Structure 1
């Protein structure tokens, strides 16, 4: 019966995480605001989020437990975005008012006209939302602004770059997250140490921004936050590529590579002349998109790290052609089977410390030992 207890525990914890976003209303229903972690510079800040209308809980539903979580999951499934809600955002003495779109989203670009403290990186933005027929809601969200001395920004894909994709791999990941103790192998070996090293830089004291993009929908935001925290991967604004809502006007989500390019253009414009490292995988269009970006922004991209996720000779030849296209630039495209090769290149370029490189090597070696022990026990 041990397996039954494990899977029961898995189901309960997973349902609780899925239900979490609707619990802010304490069962009362009505308007709920879900902001996503923001990012910016000392000139401009971006804050995104969504405003929902959701049903109230019945009086017969208990405050806690599996029945409450199941009811909240149902409320999450049937809640709808609230259009034309008035969203007021304040960051220090800076203020902006916008309205939500027809799906309830807001995407605020707030110019910073009154200076913010430069001795902290995480700032709090206050949000006040009003809508006709709804009780107003106040909340807040964290906004990351790198310090003025920041020398590098990292932009990383998530799927098949940080974490495994595929139904079978995601089930394993979820099982390890919610049943076993936090386990680094829910992410690729060495990823946590590599991203920590890139965040801290050669001095081990930097606070470089790491911005993440994904092909997934906003609906899995909370699950990815749990994944990042449990795997000790530096947190940052998690920017998803597409809203997956289907409508007659938009029967399919926008192509992931097109939206990814737009987001990266936006980030490079935000951080002006700051150098950048791009990280992706060989399974999708990351090498092609990143090569186009190097050509569009001469001198801005220091390196492209591509995780090899298959052994297709044709794909490797295609990536080799892209590497040759960049031969006359100051950017090298590195196709790597694991995080160690990326870390070695970053260290050679002066982008991470020797301590950071050693941490990546230890992490990968520890994974190999554990994998060998698991295989020997089968």
Structure 2
């Protein structure tokens, strides 16, 4: 019966995570606002979010427990975006007013005319949403602005770069995420310590901006937040997900490579003097997209780290040709089977500390030892 208890625990925890955004209305329904973490510089900041219209919770539903979570999951499935709601955004003494689009999203681009404090990296964006016939809603979001001494920008893919996300493995991925021990979940070995090392830099006090990209829809935002927290991965803005809403005019979500390239362009423009490292995987279009970025921004991209997630020799040859194309630039393309190779290169470039490199090696070694012990137990 142990397997039954584990799966019951999995279902309960998964339902609680999926239902979590619905708790904010205390069951009242109506208009609700879900902001996402923002990002920016001392010149401008960006904050995204979505305004929903959702049903109220029945009085017979208890306030806690699996029945409440199930009811909230149902409410989440049937909620709809609230179009043309007025959104007022305040960051420090800077203010912007805009309206939501037909799907309820707002994407605020706020110029900074009044300086923000430079002794903190996370700032508060106060949000007020109004709509006819609705009670105004106040909420807030965190906005990341790197400190003046930040010396490196890191832009990383998530899917099959930070976490295992093979389509055939979705259910297993969720099981590992919510049932198994934190260090045995869905992150690649050494990822947490690698990203911590990149975040802290050689001084181990750098607080560099690490921005994450996913091909998934915004609906999985809370799942990704839980994943990052459980796996001790530095929490940056999980910024760049796609809306997968299907309509007759747009029957398919936007291509992942176009989505990613536009966002990288935006980031390099925002942090216009900061060198950058790009991290991705071999399974999609990351090497090709990143190579084009290197050519478009001479001298800006200092390294491309590509996690090898398949054993197709033709794919490896294609990536090696891209590496040869970059031979005369300031950028090294590193095709790596594990996090150690990435960390060793970053250390040689003077991007991470010796302690950071040692932490990555230790984590990968411990993971391999655990896998060997697990396999030995299965074979006995």
Could you say which residue in structure 1 is the equivalent of 2:118? 118
Displacement, 1:168?
4.7
Displacement, 1:170?
3.3
Determine the C-alpha separation between the residues in 1 that align with 2:76 and 2:256: 25
Displacement, 1:2?
1.5
Could you say which residue in structure 2 is the equivalent of 1:201? 201
Displacement, 1:169?
3.4
Determine the C-alpha separation between the residues in 1 that align with 2:76 and 2:287: 36
Determine the C-alpha separation between the residues in 2 that align with 1:160 and 1:148: 32
3-state SS of the aligned residue for 1:327? coil
Could you say which residue in structure 2 is the equivalent of 1:76? 76
3-state SS of the aligned residue for 1:18? helix
Could you say which residue in structure 1 is the equivalent of 2:245? 245
Could you say which residue in structure 2 is the equivalent of 1:356? 356
Contact 1:190 1:363 in 2 (8 A): yes
Could you say which residue in structure 2 is the equivalent of 1:286? 286
Determine the C-alpha separation between the residues in 2 that align with 1:177 and 1:323: 34
Contact 1:217 1:240 in 2 (8 A): no
Could you say which residue in structure 1 is the equivalent of 2:233? 233
Determine the C-alpha separation between the residues in 2 that align with 1:80 and 1:240: 21
Determine the C-alpha separation between the residues in 2 that align with 1:326 and 1:205: 31
Structure 2 counterparts to residues 93-242 of structure 1, below 5 A: 93-242=93-242
Determine the C-alpha separation between the residues in 2 that align with 1:259 and 1:167: 20
Residue 307 (structure 1) aligned with residue 315 (structure 2): no
Displacement, 1:63?
1.0
Determine the C-alpha separation between the residues in 1 that align with 2:133 and 2:186: 44
3-state SS of the aligned residue for 2:8? helix
- 1:134-184 deviation per Cα after TM superposition (whole angstroms, max 9, x unaligned): 111000010010000110000000000000012453333322332233224
Determine the C-alpha separation between the residues in 2 that align with 1:45 and 1:4: 48
- Gapped runs of 5+ residues in structure 2? none
Contact 2:33 2:50 in 1 (8 A): yes
Could you say which residue in structure 1 is the equivalent of 2:90? 90
Residue 58 (structure 1) aligned with residue 58 (structure 2): yes
Moved over 3 A (4+): 167-170
3-state SS of the aligned residue for 1:215? strand
Determine the C-alpha separation between the residues in 1 that align with 2:240 and 2:112: 24
Determine the C-alpha separation between the residues in 1 that align with 2:312 and 2:197: 30
**What is the number of equivalent residue pairs in this alignment?**
378
Displacement, 1:337?
0.3
- Gapped runs of 5+ residues in structure 1? none
Could you say which residue in structure 2 is the equivalent of 1:46? 46
Contact 1:38 1:141 in 2 (8 A): yes
Determine the C-alpha separation between the residues in 1 that align with 2:329 and 2:313: 25
Displacement, 1:58?
1.1
Normalising by the residue count of structure 1, what TM-score does the alignment of the two structures yield? 0.99
Normalising by the residue count of structure 2, what TM-score does the alignment of the two structures yield? 0.98
Determine the C-alpha separation between the residues in 1 that align with 2:337 and 2:181: 27
3-state SS of the aligned residue for 1:186? coil
Determine the C-alpha separation between the residues in 1 that align with 2:27 and 2:299: 53
Contact 2:86 2:129 in 1 (8 A): yes
Contact 2:37 2:48 in 1 (8 A): yes
Determine the C-alpha separation between the residues in 2 that align with 1:155 and 1:356: 19
Determine the C-alpha separation between the residues in 1 that align with 2:170 and 2:212: 18
Contact 2:87 2:97 in 1 (8 A): yes
Indicate the RMSD between aligned Cα atoms, in angstroms. Answer: 0.9
- 1:201-224 deviation per Cα after TM superposition (whole angstroms, max 9, x unaligned): 011111000000000000000010
Could you say which residue in structure 2 is the equivalent of 1:339? 339
Contact 1:194 1:339 in 2 (8 A): yes
Displacement, 1:5?
1.1
Contact 1:199 1:210 in 2 (8 A): yes
Determine the C-alpha separation between the residues in 2 that align with 1:347 and 1:68: 49
3-state SS of the aligned residue for 1:198? helix
